[in-house]
Amino acid sequence: METERPDRRAFLKKGAALAGGLTLGAAEPGAGQTAPTDPAQQAPAQQVPDHESPELVAYGVRSHRVTSVRIAHPPQGRPSPDEFGLIFHIATPLQDQMGAITPNSLHYIGTTRGSFVPDIDPKEHRLMIHGLVDRELIFTMDELKRFPSVTRPHFIECAGNRANRRMVTVQETHGMTSCAEWTGVLLRTLLEEAGVQPGGTWIVAEGVEEVKGASSLPIAKAMDDIIVAYGQNGEPLRPQNGFPLRLVVPGFEGILSVKWLRRIKVVDEFYMTYNDYGHLRQDADDAALSYQWGPKSVITFPSGGQQLTGTGFYEVRGLAWSGGGAVTRVEVSTDGGRSWKDAEIRGTPQRMAHTLFTFNWTWDGSPAELMSRCTDELGQVQPSRQQVREFWGVPEGQPFSVKGQDNSIQPWRVESDGSVHNAIA
């Protein structure tokens, strides 16, 4: 999937020349390939530039031939940084990801109104727990790391991760979610250390960045599985993702996973504070659907903007996840949802974590429409956009936006020339 850009452009040009009724033959060389030559005739490989520099010996970087990058989201929307220098929404290149874990440099970024990224000295950083507790406490990072820890994979997903028909790639339709293995201490452990008093029904979690971004969370979630995380995929959190300390709120909308965390206050009501207010809803069903993510999945290969290189075998790949727990089933359709077959789930699905699925597919060169559908441990099933339309009574033909968080099925149309397109009507 990962190709150097000039090669890819050259190939696409070639693909366009071949289009017009012709399908790409299976024997056609793929991107960047040349005709087979005698291995003995090939020149020795060039050295990677600067590979012996002290910097690269000390800290490695990816190949200069790998060019996958994040992009501002939504496309044609607000840039990051914007004209004020604020970082707003930046999407992960899911189409290039291998496996279920997002590399830290490519993890999506979301901030509420746009934010600056604070430079925090972990030696000076503190976490305070106060409010309706028996013992107010303040911790250093070193003290937090002495508590019993957990290491768990969890996805985080921005409420703005919604697809529309104008979007082209899976990075645009689904890139505002990522999955990492988070290390930290359970919030429950810290709250039990402080002793939550009767009447403590909510918490307010607050960051240290310039706006002191704050979110309200029900105590039932705080005492369940929220992680006060300092580690991400084997290293300290990245600054853009909350260094040195953040909440990871498994399965809830991403805005609640407060970054640069410095304070937890146990309170007796929903505080409707900074991060909360913009997410208020008028309709109770809409509010419920705007909280915990439903079962969701998307095919990342082949996906919008990609080009099949000929008829024959393809391993269809994608990611499935749910805010309701572990993925229990993923189905794939190649005929636009008329028939479904079980996909293979790779590994043991983890709760509230991206789960890799694959599906063996032989493309015969005729137009196809690829979809995936996720079922979770609660029995929730990912809906089609048509089912969402019927649930809300949106008349046929009227364009609509999925209410609450969008977990609807993503269709990709494969044309006979091998090009792949977003098929949202």
Partner 1 sequence: MRSLSVLSLVALLGGGPVLAQGPTYGLGRTPTPEEVRAWDISISPDGDELPLGRGTAVEGALVYRRSCARCHGAQGADGRAPRLVRTDRPREDPWDYGRILPIRSPYAPTVWDYINRGMPLNMEGTLTADEVYALTALLLYWNGIIAEDEVMDAQTLPAVQMPNRENWAPLPDWQPGTPRLPGYPY
Binding site for partner 1 (CB under 8 A): 83-84, 86, 113, 128, 130, 134-139, 143-144, 146-147, 189, 192-193, 195, 204, 206, 210-212, 214, 218, 220-221, 224-225, 262-263, 265, 267, 269-274, 277-278, 280-289, 291-294, 323-325, 378-381, 383, 387-388, 390-391, 404
User: What is the gyration radius of the CA atoms in the chain, in angstroms?
Assistant: 23
> Whole-number minimum distance, CB 300 to partner 1, in Å?
24
> Whole-number minimum distance, CB 240 to partner 1, in Å?
19
Of 277 and 313, nearer to partner 1 (C-beta) is 277
Contact between residue 301 and residue 310 where contact means Cβ atoms under 8 Å apart: no
Of 324 and 418, nearer to partner 1 (C-beta) is 324
Select from 129, 182, 108, 156 the least CA-distant residue to 255.
156
Of 8 and 145, nearer to partner 1 (C-beta) is 145
> Whole-number minimum distance, CB 304 to partner 1, in Å?
24
> Whole-number minimum distance, CB 353 to partner 1, in Å?
16
Of 72 and 219, nearer to partner 1 (C-beta) is 219
Strands 126-131 and 261-267: parallel
Contact between residue 169 and residue 304 where contact means Cβ atoms under 8 Å apart: yes
Of 221 and 317, nearer to partner 1 (C-beta) is 221
Cβ-Cβ contacts under 8 Å for 186 (sequence gap 6 or more)? 148, 150, 225, 226, 227, 228
> Whole-number minimum distance, CB 138 to partner 1, in Å?
4
> Whole-number minimum distance, CB 361 to partner 1, in Å?
27
Counting Cβ atoms within 10 Å, is residue 269 exposed (0-12), middle (13-18) or buried (19+)? exposed
Distance in angstroms (rounded) separating the CA atoms of residues 8 and 2: 9
> Whole-number minimum distance, CB 135 to partner 1, in Å?
6
Of 28 and 193, nearer to partner 1 (C-beta) is 193
Residue type, 208: V
> Whole-number minimum distance, CB 407 to partner 1, in Å?
9
Distance in angstroms (rounded) separating the CA atoms of residues 118 and 138: 21
Of 24 and 205, nearer to partner 1 (C-beta) is 205
Distance in angstroms (rounded) separating the CA atoms of residues 316 and 360: 6
Which residues of 158-307 form beta strands (DSSP E)? 177-186, 202-207, 214-218, 227-232, 235-236, 246-248, 261-267, 296-301
Of 70 and 296, nearer to partner 1 (C-beta) is 296
Distance in angstroms (rounded) separating the CA atoms of residues 250 and 150: 13
Peptide bond into 6 cis (omega under 30): no
